[in-house]
Amino acid sequence: MQKTAVITGANRGLGFGTAQALAAQGYQVFMLGRNPEQIAQAARQVPNAQGFAVDVSNTAQVKTVAQQISQQLTQLDVLINNAGVILDSANHDLVHADPDLVLKTFDINTVGALRMTQAFLPLLEKSSAPRIVNVSSGMGGLSEMGAGYPAYRLSKTALNALTTFTVADLNNPKFKVNSICPGWVRTDMGGSQADRSIEEAIPGILWAAQLPEDGPTGGFFRDGQGLDW
């Protein structure tokens, strides 16, 4: 049976590159993005892929796209929660952090992944080997916590908590759910000064998406190597 994958934030950067890589391996790929024109154009560039416009901060839209995709599938093998934003900057510190900006970032980076997991759980449960990949960041690791970017950092820390909570709450050994730090990548979000290419970062995401039955779950990884929370 053909493997299937849903990827958010798939119109560009890591999401687009991961969609290309999985499609090249024979996966049926469902590419999700917020901008209808951009995601449609991106999906046309990936064989055996379909594009869907959805804002992961909109619960109704997430539920609708899950219903649309469920009409085409008997199971979902891989969910990659890649959609994310950086709305603050290095100049934002504790004193100047905008609580509304923090909440908006959480709504996309953290609660967006929760919405997607909830909506696609029925399809994932029908897979014999479901995998959930939460694309996180070392900036959200407590062991690497630094100053600046408070909204982004806190949202990724909470995303890591969602990973461990999902594993505990599902309590199902067939699921493999992990947080992945791709590193600092040269994307629209990461900027041109980042030290990694998209091609260098994608294998770590694919590793988590294709873990074997005895693979790890509930962990935090970069390039397949464990990170401290």
Work out how many domains the chain is built from and give that number.
Answer: 1
DSSP secondary structure, 61-91, as one string? HHHHHHHHHHTT-S---EEEE------S-TT
pLDDT at res. 144: 83
CB distance 139 to 220 below 8 Å: no
Q: What CATH code is carried by the domain that includes residue 110?
A: 3.40.50.720
In tens, the pLDDT along 20-44 reads 999 999 999 999 999 999 999 999 9
Cα–Cα distance between 52 and 23 in angstroms, integer?
16
Parent domain of 183: 4-226
To the nearest whole number, what is the mean pLDDT of the chain? 95
Torsion angle, alpha carbons of 151, 153, 155, 161, to 10: -150
Which residues neighbour 185 within 8 Å (Cβ) at sequence distance 6 or greater?
Answer: 13, 14, 194, 196, 197, 198, 200, 201
CB distance 218 to 31 below 8 Å: no
pTM: 0.95
pLDDT at res. 148: 93
Which residues neighbour 98 within 8 Å (Cβ) at sequence distance 6 or greater?
Answer: 88, 92, 151
Whether residue 190 has pLDDT greater than 90: no
Whether residue 191 has pLDDT greater than 80: no
In tens, the pLDDT along 117-150 reads 999 999 999 999 999 999 999 999 999 899 999 9
In tens, the pLDDT along 6-19 reads 999 999 999 999 99
